[in-house]
Structure 1
Amino acid sequence: MHCFVARFLLLFLGTLVSLVHSKTDSPDVSALNVMFKSLNSPSQLRGWKSSGGDPCGDSWEGIECSGSSVTEINLRDHNLSGQLGYQLSSLSSVKIFDVSKNNLNGDVPYQLPPNAQRIDLSENKFDGNVPYSMSQMTNLEEVNLSRNRLEGQLSDMFAKVQKLKSFDVSYNKLSDTLPNSLANLSNLNTLHLQNNRFTGTINVLADLPLNDLNVENNKFTGWIPDELKGIDNLKTGGNSWSTGTAPPPPPGVQHRRRPDKEESEGSKISLRNGLLIGFSCLGGVTLLLFIICICTMRRSSPPPSSHFLEEDIIGRRKGFTPLHSQELDPEAYVGILKQPKDFKSTDPGNGEIKSLLKSPSMGLRRSASSRVSFSENEFANRLKGRRSTSVQVVPYSLADLQKSTDNFAPDRLLGEGTIGRVYRAKYPDGKVLAVKKIDSSLFQGQKSEEFSKLVANISKLHHPNIAELVGYCSEQGHNMLIYDYFRNGSLHDFLHVADDFSKPLTWNTRVRIALGVARAVEYLHDVCSPSMVHKNIKSSNILLDLELNPRLSDYGMANFHQRTSQNLGVGYNAPECIKPSAYTLRSDVYSFGVVMLELLTGRMPVDSERPSSEYCLVKWARPQLHDTDALFGMADPALRGLYPPKSLPPFADIVALCVQTDPERRAPMSEVVQALVRLVQQSAMNMKEDLSSSRRTTDSEYEIV
């Protein structure tokens, strides 16, 4: 008997250990659950579930694992329809992602498995553009997006995908010229671009190690480079190639070509010898004068002129680093700092740049050479110094507020919302506060403790990108919430209430504002327990401090908004929100997307003065978000074209993630934050590369001989 019990226990423990070891990582399970629902829960995917389950342990159809991590998704030719969901970026261990030969539609997901080596989405019905997020997938070796309905320009997205060996976007509707960054693909041997609408030349491909190139049936012009004519498998028919011999380069100029190893070594030796001879011939005094001359020239370079607002701010506030078109401090994009004890990390991975992105003017200093350098000690010291303590919420008397607002005089009115009015309270010592006077009708039939509960809940919220509560008043039927006063007003004022003396926000500051607001909403959705739906995200509820950092206001009022019959934020409401009670977390994401559209276009969410086709900002903009040509035309004219062209497509891609009609297709706020962080990182990298390249020869195709 004892022997039988022992055997049973051993068998049970063995089974339990096996189950523990086979249990799939929860992020992978969640991502596959979302994907299954987005695919319309197909019965042919054996084992798949819309909630929970164990893909690795239960051998889900098309899923391969290593340990507890999903490493391969192969659903090729499974007669699938629908879409792929919004959570693919959680599949961090997936190396192979193949859903080819199905009937999938919609945009190619912006969020793909971030560490994938092979992506195959061919022979589906995907539309939109090739997602710029691929530019960050540094492990990519093979990409196949052929035989879909992709449109627009192929973005300049190949600078970092150095491992790419095969790229196929044939049989789509892609147009415009080939991006210059294709020249960086030093391992590319297969490139299929046939049956699209590409224009311009293919000179950018000349130095690639290709052995399979197909550019048939496009609108290419010019001459086929001689370097490509020796390719084993070359197809170029169906284009408008120039006839005859290619013209020689201009006089005194020759084409660049990649030197072989011997040439390269010889050049280095020649250069070294030349330098030695030069320095031996150059007198000491002459050399000293030369160095002084160079330093003087660098120091005397005139500052860039600007008509933008930050020029004024830097003169008043030393701690604020402006964002100019010529030099970019990566930290100047964002004015936020997560508190480790209060926040969950949503940034992918760790590292100095990720920490750096969380606070302005932190850990970066300018050296004499104008290059950005990083100091760990400086970062740690400033981080410690910037950690704010909780704001002490204090009671104010009604008499005190009546006096400081001149008895709530009309000239002290700052604004009026769905639940009350906001007044400016000014004190003799110079202190200025904003007093939100809640409509008394909202408390009819409610217990007197409700306002106290509201104050208690709001006072617990602390984040650098929300307007924190500093006081309250509840006397004689008056219920008021008191906040700091932000002299710069709201984002709405900056974007839409212009006058002859106004200066627009720079593009980089707009990105910084978007990321700061996204962080605030992420805090409400993911950090607060239970999650808090804002329900009234709009540009007039985004206040700007003296350093133009965003502060989200009007949070914690969801219960009051639900009682109002008014339509919250006309133009900001998600399609499902016919009434305030229908709001969800994804409705907030939609409203945030509308704010991003305001930042991009400078337009109002609804504008009766525009043609009927442009009356609603989202309906007008959404079809154009993946059209690069249209996108540049959509940019706010007030920017005067002063923005990095490479930043617009990824910014628009993030907007598209937010303003989907179907709530299930909208990305959660944490993923929106990640996408904006990646945009900031990429922009910083691009600017660094631009600054570096500006010190070299500006002509990229020819050199003087």
Structure 2
Amino acid sequence: MRFEGPSILGIRRGKNMEDLTVVLVITMLIAGADAKTDSPDVSALNVMYSSMNSPSKLTGWQSSGGDPCGDNWYGIECSGSSVTKIKLMGLDLSGSLGYQLSSLTSVTYFDMSENKLNGEIPYQLPPNAVHIDLSENKFTGNVPYSISQMLDLKFLNLGHNQLKGQLIDMFGKLSKLQTLDLSSNELSGNLPQSFVSLSSLSKLRLQKNEFTGTINVLAKLKLNDLNVADNHFTGWIPSNLKKINNLNTDGNSWSSGPAPPGSEDAGGGGIGNSGLSAVAITIIILSVLVALALVITLFTKKSSSPSSHFLDEERASQRRQFTPLSSQELTHDMMPAPRKSFKDLDPASLSVSIDMKGLQKSPSIGNRNLQSDTKSSLSDSEFASRLNARRSTSFRSVSYALADLQSATANFATGRLIGEGTIGRVYKAKYADGKVLAVKKIESSLFQGRKPEEFSEIVTKISALHHPNITELYGYCSEQGHNMLIYEYFRNGSLHEFLHLSDDFSKPLTWNTRVRIALGTAKAIEYLHEVCSPSITHKNIKSSNIFLDMEFNPRLSDCGLGTFHQRTSQNLGAGYNAPECTKPSAYTLKSDVYSFGVVMLELLTGRMPFNSSKPRPEQCLVRWATPQLHEIDALERMVDPALRGLYPPKSVSRFADTIALCVQAEPDFRPPMSEVVQALVRLVQRSSMNKRGESPGSSGRMDDFDY
């Protein structure tokens, strides 16, 4: 909008104040129109656009950057700077939906129906969606478990795709769901018991699948539209369902004659007579006795093997109690204790191809580990000799059969799901001999357009990585379009869980333990950057990718998988990305340093890198914390309250100094990881010297130390 000179002059000469008000209001509206779309939304749409093969019909869309709300991208509706609706139905779109839909936290309406999208439905969908329509595409796989957490969902249509497998028991929290359409797929098995929780459901379409069993679980739902035709259902149709006006039950194997008493109860057929009741009671009693005997056996076995660090029971989404190493002295080189996982493995039973003689000579395993494996801590000749010794170690990853992994993960059951990330889901694999491994099932869409041999190259690259603070690759699986990596399993979970998901019964990580985690992680990154040749850029450093062993030593995961993030480099969660990471070519080793600085900030403050529930100035951790890192009073207020003041102020100050160096906006100003390691080692050395200088009668409180 343009204002002519006389109008402005008129206002300046004292013309009616209402004119000035109008000008100011219009100016504010123009400024608001120029407001940039929230960066997580932009990033998610960039990835989505690239994953759909950058269709030209999506006018305004870009594969990097842009302003969807301000520039009116096709099919996008916004409220303020947030994307709220995505309507791209019937456009003949192909490819996949990408892996960042979970960043679209304000999207309530998501319609991608009547296209040619393929691959598995992303397990990360817009988390607060009310309406999701992905019908009439070519999606494969199963219904994503993340839907179970969409508490506001009212409409879900996944019909007319190529979905297979049994429905997971995942509908218990979807009390607002009104319409569910899973028709014309290849879904099988019994209907999940959690269907009984769909109290608001009025329309259910399950026709043209391969479902079996009864439909008794639907008996008490308040449905007015039900279609279960052309399946393999058996039993009787509950009388309550027969009253539905719009009902189609054709094409099933229903039982004839009157239904026995209780057969229409939700959840399964009842018992028709007292004889059957007695049998049922007997079976229940026997089951309880058998279960009790198993519990006693497991307890006895666990008591006789106190060194075992594997979980014996499924504890999905449950936090665990632990006792941090509050009194353990931080040693000079701060390396973890010798690994026990190789010793626990049985090469014969797991078919692991290991040169055991070479393994014993490896400098990273034994009574004393190679100190950080870096040039900074060794002479050139010593470094070269140890590195050559490491390279002589023979360790080849094992090819696991898909059938074996399906058996060990209970066919990748929900109860075995232990994590989800930008690359894929991670499942716990349990074997009969007690071994427990972690299976990373890589998203199939990430292999679109790639050569088949690329996965083998990735496995070879990761297999060559050996460091005490990096998760070991035990094997891989590449069958029937599935690509999986098998790693060691850590009972203690990730650093993210301890910092951000702790409940009232968990104890916080002590300051010494936090410093040790930072130093171990820094050494792992230093190994990737300065020991590996060529250097490896991680591209996914975040607290959820740092696992803790039984002694709370850190193990960095996802190493060597940066190739999957080449398309956008926007793989990290909000708050971890360095400012320069707007395109793949801009991502460097110094970008990893920035991400590690953010992890250090998490250790210092206990805050998440980005938290939309905080006041706007505090939402981005780096922006909020950076100006305060050199102010003593402000720094004291920033420290994680969970530490309850039990930390040495000078140690915290030096820790903050290192953070400030890592999260600088200019990549060239950030230090190399070897310097970060040296700074943290000096911090630990001061801690050790002060502890050795304690008098026998000192209190031992953390604030007594001055380091």
TM-score w.r.t. structure 1 length? 0.48
Higher relative contact order (CA 8 A, sep 6+): 1
TM-score w.r.t. structure 2 length? 0.48
